[in-house]
């Protein structure tokens, strides 16, 4: 997805600018639409300069808008692992 297409997509969505920036960052990491990102909320927060709670809140908002899908993952021992973030 080129920058002008991404801009047109995000202009019409009622999200905070930091959520739009996070979405744009995820698109870059995923290599465009329909890609997958395996970064933790903590790592995303470090990369974006946001708090982990802000990243989690924005990820939920992006999912509610139908831009991403979050899939929780757990190890065989039941320990929580990095979420799978799928770009839609």
The string of pLDDT tens digits covering residues 35-63 is: 999 999 999 999 999 999 999 999 999 99
Rounded CA-CA distance 52/60 in Å is 12
Rounded CA-CA distance 14/39 in Å is 25
- Domain tally for the chain? 1
Rounded CA-CA distance 63/77 in Å is 27
The string of pLDDT tens digits covering residues 58-85 is: 999 999 999 999 999 999 999 999 999 9
pTM for the full predicted model: 0.89
Domain that holds residue 39: 3-87
Q: DSSP of the chain, one letter per residue?
A: --HHHHHHHHHTS---HHHHHHHHHHHHHHTSTT-EE---HHHHHHHHT--HHHHHHHHHHHHHTTSEEEEEEE-TT--EEEEEEEE-
CATH of the domain at 65: 1.10.10.10
């Amino acid at each position: 997805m080129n920058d002008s297409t991404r801009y047109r997509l995000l202009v019409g969505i009622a999200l905070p600018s930091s959520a739009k920036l996070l979405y744009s960052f995820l698109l870059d990491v995923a290599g465009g639409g329909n890609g997958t990102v395996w970064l933790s909320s903590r790592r995303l927060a470090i990369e974006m300069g946001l708090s982990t709670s802000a990243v989690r809140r924005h990820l939920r908002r992006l999912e509610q808008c139908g831009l991403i899908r979050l899939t929780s993952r757990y190890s065989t021992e039941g320990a929580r692992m990095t979420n799978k973030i799928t770009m839609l």
